[in-house]
Copies of this chain bind each other. A is one copy, B any other.
Amino acid sequence: MRLLADPARAAIVDLLAAGPACTCHLVDDLGLTQPNVSNHLRALRHAGVVKAEPYGRYTYYHLNADALEAAAAHLTDLAARARAAADRRREC
């Protein structure tokens, strides 16, 4: 989930949220070089955030909604714990 920190990767995820797309789409829309986009996709792929689907000579990528929801659940858990312990102050 620390992968969404990079603006380029955040933009990729945002584009893929609108529907599966191949690498050339992302390259066009983002204005980045092809190897650059491909590297970001590899990082996201290894983290399980996106899934690659070879389609003839193209490669379609689509988001893994489960991974995003898992990250979201972790944040809501943190928020809930923070609220519950809001006034349990540790003394020095």
Contacts and interface: CB of A to CB of B under 8 A. Distances in A.
A24 B90 CA distance: 11
A37 interface: no
Contact of A21 (B10, B63, B90): B90
A17 B90 contact: no
A52 interface: no
Nearest to A73: B72
B68 A79 contact: yes
Interface string A53-79: 000001010111110110111011011
A46 interface: no
A28 B62 CA distance: 43
Contacts of A85: 17-20
